[in-house]
Amino acid sequence: MTFEEIYSKILPLWGDKIDFSDGYIIQPERKYKNLKKVTDSKDYFYSKNLSNQWNALEEQIAEDDAEGRLMLWTMFQVFQQHARKKFEQNVLTFLPGEIYKTEIEEQFLKNV
- Report pLDDT digits (tens) over 39-64: 556 678 999 999 999 999 999 999 99
How many whole angstroms separate alpha carbon 73 and alpha carbon 96?
14
Each residue's pLDDT tens digit, 17-29: 999 999 998 876 6
**90 torsion bin: left (phi>0), alpha (psi -120 to 50), beta (else):** left
**Residue 32 pLDDT > 70:** no
How many whole angstroms separate alpha carbon 2 and alpha carbon 56?
24
